[in-house]
């Protein structure tokens, strides 16, 4: 039975996992549980849908993790688990690089839960579930905020009193594991241009953009929280802070109601009134669905343009993640707002999902590159666990 490393990515309603042998960048198996808290569904390499037993809307995240661990253990062909790596959304100021998890570190990460209330508690619940299953098993935490630690201080500051800045109210940025992977593989696709002025668009149910120079993060659209920047599946994106004051002072909403509104009821879902899923909106005939897509594209182009002064122009634009990799309509819509930059998409290449989708006359290269956060976590586990 070979020694293997398990990668876990626990979200608010899903758990993705993959098994890697030593030194491998391609998993020997992977799987996921979606719809946690609603109607859970399990799928994995060479597994039956009911392999975890009955999963209901009442099955908590930690039990889902325990069942996955039990199922993997019952199948020795997958290997002997020697370490587990996790995606953790927020590392705050203290954690900019992957770390071996200890009790003290877990306590420190727990204090950051208010900064990412829709993600951090579930990330840490997976770590605790593994500790409960086998306390001696090494666990590695890899942070979505870490990749953005290279940003200049000025790019991370708000126009707030310095005392608040010193307390950590700054722009952190997220989706760092995805950006780290894209930065690693950029030379394969862009050649020498990989070290130029590149904007990567991680477009999924959660969405952001990162402006890179020399394959390092210089600016990003998400800030202190994962609410900032682009319109997302259920999240509002950037908005006038005065709206928050009005919602509470003028409309009498509680903090809990405002939080639910911004994290769960806004974005594509709120604007369309149809769905938070881009595929569903694209198939819908409702005018509100089309308007939600158009707003998504416009805001993405606006946010990209806002970052360009930080890198002095644009040499290449990369689309990644679920929407970025699969929606030709969204890619076309965003690029249409950027033609003033010399961005020109090739319609046929875009429609068929080619890797390079810029036209011959485009001054900016446009690429579609699949991301792989799990491979990044597996690599960090090799570095820390050996």
The pLDDT of residue 47: 83
Q: Given a cut of 90, is residue 209 above it in pLDDT? A: yes
Q: Select which of 3, 107, 144, 315 is catalytic.
A: 144
pTM: 0.93
- Whether 144 sits among the annotated catalytic residues: the reply is yes
Query: What pLDDT sits at residue 244?
Result: 95
**pLDDT for the residue 381:** 92
pLDDT at position 360 is 96
Sheet holding 197-203, edge to edge: 216-220, 207-213, 197-203, 316-320, 365-368
Cβ–Cβ under 8 Å, residues 281 and 289: yes
CA–CA distances in Å: residue 182 to residues 58, 160, 208: 37, 33, 14
Q: How large is the C-alpha radius of gyration of the chain? A: 21
**What does the pLDDT average to over 76-99?**
91
Q: How confident is the model at residue 26 (pLDDT cuts 50, 70, 90)?
A: confident
Residue 355 has a pLDDT of: 95
Residue at token pair 């719809």: 35
């Amino acid at each position: 039975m070979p020694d293997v490393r398990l990668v876990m990515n626990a979200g608010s309603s899903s758990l993705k996992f993959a098994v890697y042998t030593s030194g491998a960048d391609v998993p020997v198996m992977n799987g996921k549980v979606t719809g946690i808290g609603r109607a859970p569904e399990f799928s994995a390499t060479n597994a039956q849908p009911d392999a975890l037993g009955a999963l209901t809307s009442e099955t908590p995240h930690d039990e889902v993790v325990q069942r996955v661990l039990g199922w993997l253990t019952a199948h020795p062909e997958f290997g002997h688990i020697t370490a587990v790596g996790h995606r953790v959304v927020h590392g705050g100021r203290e954690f900019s690089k992957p770390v071996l998890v200890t009790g003290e570190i877990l306590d420190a990460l727990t204090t950051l839960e208010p900064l990412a209330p829709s993600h951090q508690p579930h990330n840490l619940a997976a770590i605790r579930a593994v500790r409960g299953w086998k306390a001696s098993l090494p666990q590695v935490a890899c942070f979505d905020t870490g990749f953005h630690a290279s940003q200049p201080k000025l790019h991370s500051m708000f126009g707030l009193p310095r005392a608040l800045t010193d307390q950590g109210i700054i722009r952190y940025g997220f989706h760092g594991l995805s950006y780290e992977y894209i930065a690693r593989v950029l030379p394969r696709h862009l050649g020498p241009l990989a070290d130029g002025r590149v904007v990567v668009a991680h477009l999924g149910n959660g969405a952001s953009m990162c402006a890179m120079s020399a394959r390092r993060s210089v600016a990003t659209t998400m800030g202190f929280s994962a609410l900032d920047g682009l319109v997302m599946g259920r999240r509002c994106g950037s908005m006038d802070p005065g709206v928050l004051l009005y919602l509470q002072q003028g409309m009498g909403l509680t903090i809990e109601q405002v939080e639910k509104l911004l994290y769960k009821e806004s974005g594509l879902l709120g604007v369309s009134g149809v769905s938070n899923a881009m595929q569903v909106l694209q198939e819908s005939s409702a005018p509100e669905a089309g308007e939600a897509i158009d707003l998504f594209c416009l805001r993405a182009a606006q946010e990209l343009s806002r970052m360009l002064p930080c890198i002095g122009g644009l040499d290449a634009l990369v689309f990644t993640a679920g929407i970025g990799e699969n929606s030709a309509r969204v890619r076309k819509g965003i690029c249409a707002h950027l033609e003033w930059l010399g961005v020109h998409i090739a319609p046929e290449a875009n429609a068929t999902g080619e890797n390079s989708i810029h036209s011959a006359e485009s001054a900016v290269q446009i690429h579609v590159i699949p991301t792989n956060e799990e491979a990044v976590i597996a690599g960090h586990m090799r570095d820390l666990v050996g």
